[in-house]
Amino acid sequence: MDIFRDKFRGIILGTAVGDALGLPAEGLSRKRVEKFFKGRWHHRLIFNKGMVSDDTEHTVFTAQCLIAHPDSPEKFIRKLAWSLRWWILFLPAGAGWATLRAVIRLWAGFSPEKSGVYSAGNGPAMRSAVLGAFFARDINNRNFEKPDAFIRASTMITHTDPRALTGAKAVAYITALGFQRDLIQKPELKEFIDLIRFPGKTDPEWIQITDSMSRCLQKDISVKEFAEIMGLSKGITGYIYHSVPAAIYAWYLHYGDFETTLSTILNCGGDTDTAGAIAGAVAGSVTGEKGIPQDWIKGIWEWPISINVLKKLSDALYFKAYGLEKKSDISFFGPGTILRNLFFIIIILMHGFRRLFPPY
């Protein structure tokens, strides 16, 4: 398999794996995660199987819209708006508050350019890895105009806080960096820091975060210790300036090691499904599908967006990005999603009930 085709699979499957592994631990503190989930990470949602949440679903929507409209951010965002409108009608569990309000505004008649709300939540970050992959050649050649237009459109449809755009760009740029064919060894620290600093170069908070990342990486500080330095000793929050730095810090520290990258993020607790999805995406951009533990992939129990559908979608996105005249059947039974979501909600409620009991 072509290395870039494998990397596209690595990003989308990595997102799903991080999302599914992290979902049972979402909202738990680091201490409770350590007590609940001992040993190597594996799927624990139901019968040692995993399911995905909105993080993977938004990745799928973004990929579908890119395939349909790879040259027009305006058409891309209009199609994404309809994907989000229909998505909310299928009763997704755990939709972010900002995203929920934005989709309601879309149904109320607001245009995709004006539907977003002022929030720096994680929504844009979980959509931007596939954008970074699709426009990797532009980003790596420092031609940011076209990819930035798509990243901005994908962000502003739900989140208008400038910090949301900074976080989304950082994820996209790091994903693109993983697409450099000759990037066998991890990039130089200065190159890494300069790249992630660029999206928020005028934001003092982002500059401070990237400076902290640089100092910690120079000292080879662990992901847990870095999270503590950021004030996240209880868990990674849903704030994009917490989740994105933690995920890309783990990406650099454990470069090329998918399992360790993801495990160290999940061990931090908090918003584990989204932080895991982001970390899984950026790690997958380096390792490809072949670097993801197969039991983590096969353990995802999903329908109608199955693992097979995700692989076909990844391939179709690769073909479109590289101008290959190949087509893949990536259709799935969309109405079945509502039945799946009702089942999913029951499982989530059962997990919530379980958390009322020890260990604390």
Annotated binding site for Mg(2+): 53-55, 271, 273-274
Instruction: Report the C-alpha gap between 125 and 169 in whole angstroms.
Output: 8
How does DSSP classify residue 305?
A: S
* Closest CA relative to residue 56, chosen from 17, 83, 88: 17
CA–CA separation, 106 and 258 (whole Å): 37
**Amino acid identity for residue 278 in this structure:** I
Nearest to 131 by CA among 150, 116, 145, 113: 150
Closest CA to 23 of 344, 359, 358: 344
Binding-site positions read: 53-55, 271, 273-274
Alpha helices in the chain (DSSP H): 3-22, 30-36, 54-68, 73-89, 97-107, 123-134, 136-140, 145-156, 162-177, 189-197, 204-218, 223-229, 240-253, 258-266, 272-287, 294-298, 307-321, 336-354
308-331: b (≥16 Cβ within 10 Å) or e: ebbbbbbbbbbbbbeeeeeebebe
CA-nearest of 301, 324, 315, 316 to 16 is: 301
CA 302/CA 279 separation, integer angstroms:
21
What is the distance, to the nearest Å, from the Cα of residue 237 to the centroid of all Cα atoms in its chain?
A: 14
Buried b (16+ CB within 10 A) or exposed e, 108-128: eeeebeebbbebbbbbbbbbb
Residues 6+ apart with CB under 8 A from 142: none
